[in-house]
């Protein structure tokens, strides 16, 4: 009997014995980890008819550790799988394969396009490279390719979370992001608006009723890694900001349905979640777009020459800008809306839109005001209408006046400070709310001139990075940027040296986003740099960018923590 049970385990779980080691069952009936691979390929199953994007998913547990899994079709290597995928079901089934000896997740996923192969029978298998350099081919099965069948879209829903996995239903309020990804071998059906914005036929449904379409084309490097044959996978992310205040409180079902260009559709996920909108869970939300966190704000008053005038916004003073957006949400429409926005430095009010909104003739614009047009926020939150369209705030900071000693200024010290945005709403009972806070550094260089300034657009703070990623953004220097150095943990990874097609790239798209800068700033401001994250160990790393201008002035103008995740 014991031998029969063991035979069944070997057959069902796919236990492959390595060398002469033998798997055993302890006194409690739990499989002991020995030098063997316990694996399973969930899809495709043997004998399956496959078409479109053929996902190859499964799991493998082995005390030797898995270094690489390669997909084989007809014995030919195609792609390396995305390994270390969570599989709680596998962990529960094999509880002894957990803890310090087994720190990695057992799941893997990859795919291939059926259209790259002729109709008929083909073999699919995986080749596993273990950490001790052992190699094994596992799970070979025969499938039948039929390219006459159109496949409905594939995808997944990241938010809200799956209660089966996380053990509870998400409880949400206000504007809640429905986030995931979708791909199709024929392409996801999309519509391009006259303003160039893209909306996909990825529909969000609440209790079976379509309530909106998703923004599409968001970066998803993880999907590209798992589906390397699908060109659109790299930008397959979608998001729809669902206004939960339009529904009753309680349990609701969220579903996402995606359509391809041939008219086929699939509900890629369903979730049940709880809407809980009340006074304590609602309020204004938004962010500071500029400057970026840890940005440097420069004064020119330390160079010498004429003493400061003591006049704020005097001609010739160094002005820095603080821009962003805020939208209010309230379960009572008569109390919804932003009343004023305040700019705080280290908790002290610097400017308020209720008293300081003025026109500065030297810049031909209103500053310290709320209600700036933000079509990008309307695009993301169409359900808020005019509140989203005119959600922008814009403050002008005279840095010379900030750092100058009294009576010529405020005498704020150089170094680290915190900028915050505090919002008051139309609700008379709701106190002002701080919606965003960022660290900034006040500088007053004594060598003169204007240092470089700009924005690192990608990667974002603590973003998960794999393989070769593009570091992109813009940077401007009045003395012309000649070199951009990229450092990882203080070590120079590489440089962009002028002339280089990856620097001084025209960025006219920034003119609308930053109307407070002259257009010539963006004429040659863009840059891109290919960073190979696989050269570094996994974990958190500090990414630092330095510029060198034509006058040989060096400026470390941005530092950002990011996460490298190459399973090495």
Query: Of 215, 242, 275, which closes a domain?
Result: 275
64 and 174 in one domain?
no
Q: Is the dihedral of CA 561, 565, 567, 568 positive or negative?
A: negative
Asked whether residue 448 is assigned to any structural domain, the reply reads no
Q: What is the pLDDT of residue 9?
A: 37
CA dist list (Å): 477 to 215, 238, 292, 319, 545: 34, 36, 17, 15, 14
Q: Domain range spanning residue 113?
A: 2-145
- The CATH number that applies at residue 169 is 2.60.40.650
Specify whether 189 is located in the same domain as 100: no
Quick check: helix, strand or coil at residue 367?
A: strand
DSSP string, 420-470: EEEEEES-TTSPPEEEEEEEEEEE--SS-S---EEEEEESPTT-EE-SEEE
Are 145 and 51 in contact by the 8 Å Cβ rule? The answer is yes
Q: Are 248 and 206 in contact (CB under 8 A)?
A: no
Q: Are 433 and 471 part of one and the same domain?
A: no
State whether 202 and 293 are in the same domain.
Answer: no
* pTM for the whole structure: 0.74
Counting the structural domains of the chain, the total is: 4
pLDDT at 27: 36
Question: 């709403």: which residue's tokens?
Answer: 425
Q: Tokens at residue 80, please?
A: 């390396």
State whether 332 and 392 are in the same domain. Answer: yes
Quick check: is 112 in a domain?
yes
Q: Is residue 414 part of a domain?
A: yes
CATH number for the domain harbouring residue 531: 2.60.40.10
Report yes or no on 280 lying in a domain.
no
Q: How far apart are CA 427 and CA 335, in angstroms?
A: 5
* Residue 300 pLDDT: 80
The answer to whether residues 269 and 300 belong to one domain is no
DSSP, collapsed to helix, strand or coil, labels residue 547 as strand
Q: Output the tens digit of pLDDT for each of the chain's 568 residues.
A: 444 434 433 333 444 443 333 333 333 344 444 457 889 999 999 999 999 999 999 999 988 888 899 999 999 999 999 998 888 888 888 887 765 556 678 999 999 999 999 999 999 999 999 888 999 999 999 999 999 999 999 999 999 988 877 778 899 999 999 999 999 999 999 887 766 677 789 999 999 999 989 989 888 888 998 999 999 998 899 999 999 988 999 999 999 999 999 999 999 999 999 999 888 888 899 999 989 888 888 888 776 656 677 788 888 888 899 999 999 988 777 888 999 999 999 999 999 999 999 998 888 889 999 999 998 899 889 888 899 999 999 999 999 999 888 888 899 999 999 999 999 999 888 899 999 999 999 988 776 667 788 889 999 888 888 888 999 999 999 889 999 999 999 999 999 999 999 999 999 888 877 877 888 888 999 999 999 998 998 889 999 999 999 888 888 888 899 999 876 5
**Preceding peptide of 160 cis, ω within 30°:** yes
Residues 437 and 350 in one domain: yes
Q: Output the CA–CA distances (angstroms, integers) from residue 141 to 41, 45, 196, in the order listed.
A: 10, 8, 46
240 plus 308 within the same structural domain: no
d(CA 549, CA 476): 10
Q: Of 246, 244, 219, which is closest to residue 234 (Cα–Cα)?
A: 219
Q: Which residues pair with 393 in a beta bridge?
A: 324, 370
Asked whether the beta carbons of 249 and 331 are under 8 A apart, the reply is no
Is 484 among the domain residues?
Answer: yes
Are 85 and 115 members of one domain?
yes
Looking at the structure, do residues 492 and 347 belong to the same domain, yes or no? no
C-alpha span between 49 and 327 (Å, rounded): 50
Helix boundaries (H) for 382-434: 386-389, 399-403
Does residue 239 belong to any structural domain of this protein? Answer: yes
Instruction: Please report the pLDDT score of residue 568 as a whole number.
Output: 57
125 and 160 co-located in one domain = no
Choosing from 408, 443, 478, the residue where a domain stops is 443
DSSP E strand boundaries for 146-224: 154-159, 171-172, 175-183, 190-192, 198-206, 209-218
Query: What is the CB neighbour count within 10 angstroms for residue 22?
Result: 11
Residues 303 and 253 in one domain: no
């Amino acid at each position: 009997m014991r031998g029969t049970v063991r035979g069944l385990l070997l057959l069902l779980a796919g236990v492959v014995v390595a060398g002469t080691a033998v798997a055993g069952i302890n006194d409690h009936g739990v499989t002991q980890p020995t030098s063997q691979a316990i694996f399973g390929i969930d899809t495709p199953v043997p004998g399956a008819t496959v078409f479109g994007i053929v996902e190859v998913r499964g799991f493998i547990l082995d005390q030797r550790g898995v270094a690489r899994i390669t997909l084989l079709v007809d014995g030919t290597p195609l792609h390396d799988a995305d390994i270390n995928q969570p599989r709680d079901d596998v962990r529960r089934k094999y509880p002894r394969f957990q803890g310090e000896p087994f720190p990695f997740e057992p799941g893997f996923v990859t795919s291939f396009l059926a259209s790259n192969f002729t109709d008929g029978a083909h073999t699919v298998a995986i080749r596993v490279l273990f950490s001790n350099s052992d190699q094994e081919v596992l799970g070979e099965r025969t499938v039948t390719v039929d390219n006459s069948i159109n496949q409905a879209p594939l995808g997944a829903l990241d938010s809200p979370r799956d209660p089966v996995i996380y053990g509870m239903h998400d409880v949400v309020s206000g504007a809640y992001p429905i986030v995931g990804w979708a791909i199709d071998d024929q392409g996801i059906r999309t519509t391009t608006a006259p303003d160039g914005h893209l909306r996909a036929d990825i529909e969000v449904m609440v209790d079976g009723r379509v309530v909106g379409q998703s923004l599409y084309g968001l970066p998803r490097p993880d999907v590209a890694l798992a589906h390397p044959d699908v060109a659109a996978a790299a930008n397959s992310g979608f998001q729809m900001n669902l206004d939960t205040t339009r529904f009753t409180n309680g349990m609701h079902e969220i579903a996402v349905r995606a359509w391809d260009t041939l008219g086929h559709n699939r509900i890629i996920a369903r979730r049940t979640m709880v809407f809980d909108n009340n006074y304590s869970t609602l309020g204004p939300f938004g962010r500071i777009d500029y400057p970026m966190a840890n940005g440097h704000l420069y004064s020119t008053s330390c160079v010498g020459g004429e003493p400061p005038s003591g006049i704020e916004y005097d001609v010739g003073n160094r002005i820095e800008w603080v821009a962003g957006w805020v939208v209010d949400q309230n379960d009572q429409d008569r109390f919804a809306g932003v009343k004023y926005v305040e700019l705080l430095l280290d908790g002290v009010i610097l400017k308020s839109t209720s008293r300081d909104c003025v026109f500065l003739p030297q810049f031909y614009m209103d500053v310290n005001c709320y209600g700036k047009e933000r079509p990008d926020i309307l695009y993301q939150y169409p359900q808020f209408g005019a509140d989203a369209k005119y959600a922008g705030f814009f403050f002008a900071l005279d840095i010379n006046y900030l750092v100058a000693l009294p009576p010529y200024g405020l005498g704020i010290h150089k170094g680290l400070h915190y900028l915050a945005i505090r919002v008051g709403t139309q609700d008379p009972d709701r106190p002002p709310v701080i919606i965003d806070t960022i660290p900034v550094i006040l500088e007053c260089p004594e060598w003169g001139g204007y240092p470089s300034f700009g924005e690192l657009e990608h990667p974002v703070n603590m973003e998960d990075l794999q393989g070769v990623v593009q570091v992109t953004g813009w940077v401007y220097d009045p003395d012309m940027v000649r070199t951009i150095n990229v450092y990882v943990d203080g070590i120079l990874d590489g440089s962009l040296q002028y002339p280089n097609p990856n620097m001084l790239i025209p960025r006219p798209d920034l003119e609308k986003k930053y109307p407070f800068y002259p257009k010539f700033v963006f004429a040659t401001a863009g840059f891109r740099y290919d960073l190979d994250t696989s050269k570094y160990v996994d974990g958190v790393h500090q990414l630092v960018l330095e510029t060198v201008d034509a006058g040989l002035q060096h400026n470390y103008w941005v530092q950002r923590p990011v996460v490298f995740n190459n399973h090495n």
